[in-house]
Each structure stands twice: as C-alpha cells, then as structure tokens.
Structure 1
Amino acid sequence: MEHREPVCQFKLMASRDALEVIQGKWRIPIIISLTYGRKRFGEIQRDIADISPKMLSQELKSLEVNKIITRTLFDSMPVTVEYSLTPLGMSTKKLLDELLDWGIHFRKEVVGN
C-alpha cells in the first residue's frame, strides 16, 4: 500500500464535498440567481429560462438540504414561498467570481469569443 499525503487526502475529500454540492448544470445558476436577493420559485425560473419546474424543484431541495439556501414560507393567501442564500451559500460568492473570471479567460483562449 502506498503512502498518501494527509494534506493532499484532506484537500481531495474537501474538493469532492464542494463539488457534490454545486455540481451539475443548474445549481450554480440557481445560486447566482439568489445572489441578487430572495426570490420566489417563478422568479428563479424566469432567470434560468431553460430549467423545467420539476428540475428546479429538485435542485432547490438539494441546495436546501446542503444548507446553501433557505426556504421561507409566508402565511398569506395564497401561501408565498421565497428562497434565499444562507450565510454558507453567500460564502460561495468569491468562488463564483473566480469561476466567472476563469470562464471568461477560457472562452477567450479556447472558444475565441
């Protein structure tokens, strides 16, 4: 059995944990949408035009389970539900800014736009 660097193993596990929470086609766009403030389901769906209601619902539940977003129910008629980022969700801002910067650089280098 080969010796594994403890720091490397820790970082690999932490990166897997992070990717597990934000991976996929829709989670980062949902998080980005909510960086602009709390929103109702339909508002998020308008921001991300090509997501189906079923997929949006599934992804919102996953992000809620992972404490990235919070779901607030308002006792109104009809009942109103709003989604917002938790402090943990807000902590992704720096990561998302870096990802956007890298995406712009990638696009210039590889795609040519």
Structure 2
Amino acid sequence: MNAMEGELEAAIQKQGTAPVRRLSLDEGKLKNGLGQLVLTLVKLLHELLEKQAIRRMEGGSLSDEEIERLGTALMRQAEEIERLRLEFGLTEEDLNLDLGPLGRLL
C-alpha cells in the first residue's frame, strides 16, 4: 500500500467513527418557504403587470372598458395575493427578498 492509499484508508476509518449528521427537514417550514418563494414571484409579476397597465393607459392604447376590466382584474389579483399571504402567515416584508448588492426585490 502506498502513502496515498494509506491516507485514504485512514480518512475513511476516521469518517466512520464521526457522528453522522442528518439534514433535519421540517415539512411545515419547507411548505412555508416554498409558499413564500412562489408568492413573492406572483407579487413581482403582479407589480410588473400593474406598471405595464399604467403605461398602456397613459399611452392611450386602451379603451375605457378595457381600463375598467384591467383595473378590476388587478384589484382581484391583489386581494388574492393578500389572502394567500395571510394564509401562509407572511408579512409584506417576507415577500420583499433581499438580493444583496442588487437591493430589495420589491
């Protein structure tokens, strides 16, 4: 056995005596974390849709009826986002992820 094989064998034996660490996955935390991520993305898309709607209204490319329907749809969407946020027990701040040097998401 050469020196490298000896070191490898010693490392394997040493690893075998070390306590085994297991990843503790709490199903509730996983579901809430996934809910937070999905809801954050939905809220981001909602805000982008609102900005696009405002641009189209200001640009005059929407009829009065279209503006009314779009406003109603965006309002209902905002209400559903709020309902889901409360159901997951999240705050507004929970949906505003910190992107480090890029700043806050929303």
Q: TM-score range by the shorter chain?
A: 0.3 to 0.5
**Which has more radius of gyration?**
2
Please identify which structure carries the higher helix content. Answer: 2
TM-score (norm 2): 0.36
Please identify which structure carries the higher strand content. Answer: 1
